[in-house]
Amino acid sequence: MRLAFALLITLLFSNLAAQSPVRQITLDLNPIAIENGRYYFNGKRVTFDGLLIPLQAVDDKQVNRSIKTALALRTSQTVVRLGLSVYLLYLIADQPLYVNYHQTRTLVLSTVAAGFSLNISEKLFQRKAVNRFNAVLLKEKK
């Protein structure tokens, strides 16, 4: 029971910590460098949340659509994790965890799989927005 509770708390707080936005306000628009899956803007390493202002400054429909999709996928990931946490707490309160072992295991594994797939999709849309941003900047500079 302690392990399940620790797992639930870890899932909740890891997702909340991952969503804390980093503010970056900039006036000049330079291309965003991508190295080993990390974003660098004006020579500084930033998260995707820190890139939202420069990305939206371009005012491109494809960039905005990719940003909205990535943020929606992040929200979906949060809802899936929160839903599992609430349901597991309900199961634990109703009966001991070992009684519902197979159901709990199936739920946890399916939630982990859904979380991974949503996370990968989110990263793909983030990369798509950054690549389109760089393409628009290069086209404007020519």
- How many other C-beta atoms are found inside a 10 Å radius of the C-beta of residue 131? 15
- Which pair of tokens denotes residue 41? 């803007």
DSSP letter for each residue of 68-125: HHHHHHHHHHHHHHHHHHHHHHHHHHHS-TTTTHHHHHHHHHHHHHHHHHHHHHHHHH
CA distances from 2 to 28, 42, 55, 97, 107 (A): 51, 46, 43, 10, 18
- Position 103 scores a pLDDT of 78
Tell me the pTM.
0.72
d(CA 88, CA 46): 35
Q: Token pair 């991508």 is at which residue?
A: 34
Question: Of 9-13, 97-101, 113-117, where does the model show the most confidence?
Answer: 113-117
In 3D space, the residue among 65, 36, 73, 33 whose CA is nearest the CA of residue 51 turns out to be: 33
- Is the model more confident about 16 or about 65? 65
- Position 117 scores a pLDDT of 95
- Position 21 scores a pLDDT of 55
Helix 101-141 × helix 61-94 angle, to 10°: 170
Question: Of 17-26, 117-126, 133-142, where does the model show the most confidence?
Answer: 117-126
Question: Tens digit of pLDDT for each residue in 25-78?
Answer: 445 788 999 999 899 998 899 999 999 999 999 889 999 999 999 999 999 999
d(CA 51, CA 22): 9
Q: Is the dihedral of CA 73, 75, 78, 79 positive or negative?
A: negative
- Is the model more confident about 9 or about 121? 121
d(CA 126, CA 122): 6
